Amino acid sequence: MTARLPLAGAAAVRRWMWRTLLVHRRRFATMMLLFCLATLVGLVGPQVLGFLVDSVLTGTTTGRVDLLAGAFLAVLATQALLVRAARLRAAMLGEHLLAESREGMVSHALRLPLGTVEAAGTGDLLSRATTDVDRLDYTVRNAVPEITTALITVALTGTAMVFTSPPLACGMLVAVPLMVFSTRWYYPRSLPTIQRVMANWAEVQSSMHESVEGARTVAALRLAERRVARNEQALGRAVAAERRHRFLLSMWLPCLELSYVLPIAAILLIGGWAYQAGLAELGTIITVVLYAQAMANPFDELFMWLEELQVGHTALQRILGVREVPAADDARRAASTDGQCDLVLRDVRFSYRPDQEILHGIDLTVPVGQRLVIVGPSGAGKSTLGRLIAGISRPDSGSVAFGSTEVTGLPTEALRREVVLLTQEHHVFACTLRDNLALPDHEPTDDDLTDALKAVGLLDWVAALPDGLGTVLGSGGHPVPAARAQQLALARVLLADPHTVVLDEATSLLDNATSRELERSVSTLLSGRTVIAIAHRLHTARNADQVAVMSDGRIVELGSHAELLAAEGSYARLYRVAQPS
């Protein structure tokens, strides 16, 4: 089960809308003005048509009929031009908002604590940055102008009806009870349903993303059926939520349709009576009926786009919700460490879930520049400890510090520069080998790159590449086997030159001989730096200054290789078993 990223509250959404409206007030005002003008011009059409009918009935010249027909066409053409200009403005405003919300979202997402993103699942973040931003763009571009136009059309058409014939206009009132009651029934039910629909689709995306990302693991462990079943479950939940939404719509929409037709019947009844009583002309009745018919469309648009507005509102809640997660740096105020302090862990406790403590009070000191190797059975908590030392996760209690500087107090930039965690998972970017090794704050020269590649044993491999350092690697480029990717990642660490390195089974994909050789050359290059190596091969521990044996979230043995062998504890037993006889 993942810990979803939050949804922003109604107040945060209102603040965003208000600020956006202020920033884009000119664009917004121009767009609204054009839509209003288009609507106003549109209202002149039925008046001209009603006038034409009355003129024909009372007798007129052909020239006058031609003139009125020409005026009617001119009105339609002007309205079309105004609508086009207004839609262009709406599209431009939409593009601005799309760019801003996507950029804001991505820049905040990049500063989120890694632990939070991992716990939420990258799919959730991805769907907020893509699908939800697109939905918001669609809403701003279409729903806002359409709703405004529909509202103005309804208001002005209603006013025109009242001015044309107040008794006939009363016929519209028969639609009110059905419209109001069905809408009041629908909206409170639809909003939570839409939220569930969107959250469930994000879950589908998340599940698909994980399956694709871990495709090799899925294939290797024959997990395809389980992954498919999981995707289907997520899909099933999304479909169930969609069905509920469709059910609500299927109840509401027929009521709306009926409420558009009822007024026309009522106006015709009242009109028949008024015509007989000499209170209304035929042309007047036609004009009011045309107005009533013309109201159905904006009402339909209004309700349809209000529905879309709910989707946009939920998308906005999801987008702004990401900003409610404090950025990693918000709580980090410490100055950077100078690499001259011991790494000290005091009574560190940590749990991924509230009821399941993984680390139970770890005390450990790694003197500056020393190498500590952590060994222990699978699930003992070694990687978790490595993540805490690298500042990726925050301890529930206790402290992980360089001297007096808490690791989680360091600004992210400084932390990533000073402490590097290298795990078994490496990413090879789809760009040149040179760019794959480049770092944000210093561009290594080709000589620096060659030295680093030599240290990790990749010089021969690079020599065989078609364009050397300029060879494009990664998807679509030159293939990089997993073991080579691990060596490349080590080269990146050497170039990054941090004062502390956490290696979490960083050579696990290499064979024993290559791993030994690589560790020797890397440890020479890393000498003087504090190294915490999580190892599954015990030979790694022989040259360590200290070895920590972990079991069930605790350090159960601590000392040098020789001391632990002499102590005849679990390390000594494991070491002897691991030695070739």
Nearer to ligand ATP, 123 or 381 (CB): 381
Give the 3-state secondary structure of residue 463: helix
2 or 107: whose CB is closer to ligand ATP? Answer: 2
- Residue 533 touches ligand ATP, criterion: CB under 6 A: no
Q: Report the sign of the C-alpha dihedral through residues 561, 567, 569, 573, in that order.
A: positive
Helix (H, G, I), strand (E, B) or coil at 113: coil
Is 379 a binding residue for ligand ATP by CB under 6 A? The answer is yes
Angstrom distance (rounded) from CA 467 to CA 37:
62
Scored b (16 or more CB within 10 A) or e, 385-420 reads bbbbbbbbbbbeebebbbeebbbbbbebebbbbbbb
* Closest distance of CB 387 from ligand ATP, Å: 8
Residues 83 and 448: their CA atoms lie apart, in Å, by 61
Q: Does 378 bind ligand ATP (CB under 6 A)?
A: yes
Q: What tokens appear for 138 in the block? A: 């669609």
**Residues touching ligand ATP, count (CB under 6 A):** 10
C-beta of 20 vs 383, nearer to ligand ATP: 383
| CA distance readout (Å), 333 to 90, 328, 405, 442, 578 | 43, 11, 10, 24, 46
Residues whose CB falls within 8 Å of the CB of residue 527, separated by 6 or more in sequence, listed in order: 369
Nearest distance from residue 390's CB to ligand ATP, in Å? 13
The nearest distance, CB 374 to ligand ATP, in angstroms, is 8
Q: Count other Cβ atoms within 10 Å, centred on residue 198.
A: 23
- Give the nearer residue to ligand ATP in terms of CB position, either 18 or 352: 352
Distance CA 500, CA 295 (A): 71
Which of 179/362 has CB closer to ligand ATP? 362
**Which position has the token pair 């009070």?**
361
User: What CA–CA distance (Å, rounded) separates 263 from 252?
Assistant: 18
97 vs 380, which CB is nearer to ligand ATP?
380
Site string for ligand ATP, 295-334 (x = CB under 6 A): ----------------------------------------
Region of 152-160, 184-192, 318-326, 380-388 interacting with ligand ATP (CB under 6 A): 380-388
Q: Which residues contact 217 (CB under 8 A, 6 or more apart)?
A: 223
* Least distance in angstroms from the C-beta of 120 to ligand ATP: 11
Q: Does 380 bind ligand ATP (CB under 6 A)?
A: yes
3-state DSSP call for residue 343?
strand
Figure out which of the listed residues 190, 337, 384, 515 binds ligand ATP, where binding follows CB under 6 A: 384
Structure tokens at 345: 């862990």
- Least separation, in Å, of the C-beta of 544 and ligand ATP? 17
Site for ligand ATP contains 381 (CB under 6 A) = yes
Burial (CB < 10 A; 0-12, 13-18, 19+), residue 528, is exposed
CB hemisphere CA count around 114 (13 angstroms): 12
Binding of ligand ATP by 579 (CB under 6 A): no
Alpha-carbon radius of gyration of the chain = 35
Task: Find the shortest distance in angstroms from Cβ 398 to ligand ATP.
Answer: 16
| 41-70 residues near ligand ATP, rule: CB under 6 A | none
In angstroms, give the least distance from the CB of 553 to ligand ATP: 7
Nearer to ligand ATP, 326 or 379 (CB): 379
Residue with tokens 């000594």: 572
Site string for ligand ATP, 338-377 (x = CB under 6 A): --------------x-----x-----------------x-
Q: To the nearest whole angstrom, how small is the minimum distance from the Cβ of residue 378 to ligand ATP?
A: 3
Looking at the Cβ atoms of 234 and 392, the one nearer to ligand ATP is 392
Q: Minimum distance from CB of 394 to ligand ATP (Å)? A: 14
The residue behind tokens 């009533």 is 292
Distance CA 119, CA 206 (A): 12
Q: Minimal distance in Å, beta carbon 345 to ligand ATP?
A: 15
Binding window for ligand ATP (CB under 6 A); candidates: 17-25, 184-192, 381-389, 483-491 = 381-389
Given the complex with ligand ATP, which of 398 and 411 has the nearer CB atom? 398
Distances (CA, A) of 541 to 399, 523, 529, 581: 26, 12, 17, 19
Give the one residue of 141, 318, 371, 382 binding ligand ATP; rule: CB under 6 A. 382
Copy the structure tokens of residue 196.
Answer: 């569930």
Q: How far is the CB of 384 from ligand ATP (least distance, A)?
A: 3
Residue 424 near residue 508, CB atoms below 8 Å? yes
Residue 502 in contact with ligand ATP, rule: CB under 6 A: no
Least distance to ligand ATP from the beta carbon of 373, Å?
A: 13
Beta-strand ranges (E) seen in 221-370 are 343-353, 356-366
Within a 13 Å sphere around the CA of 479, how many CA atoms are in the beta-carbon half?
3
Minimum distance of ligand ATP from residue 421's CB (angstroms): 12
By rule CB under 6 A, what string of x and - marks binding of each residue 94-133 to ligand ATP?
A: ----------------------------------------
Of 39, 383, 408, 487, which lies in the binding site for ligand ATP, with binding defined by CB under 6 A? 383
CA separation for the pair 50, 283 (Å, rounded): 5
Q: Which of residues 133-192 bind ligand ATP (CB under 6 A)?
A: none
Residue 193 CA to residue 311 CA, distance in Å, equals 10
Q: Report the interface residues with ligand ATP, using CB under 6 A.
A: 352, 358, 376, 378-384
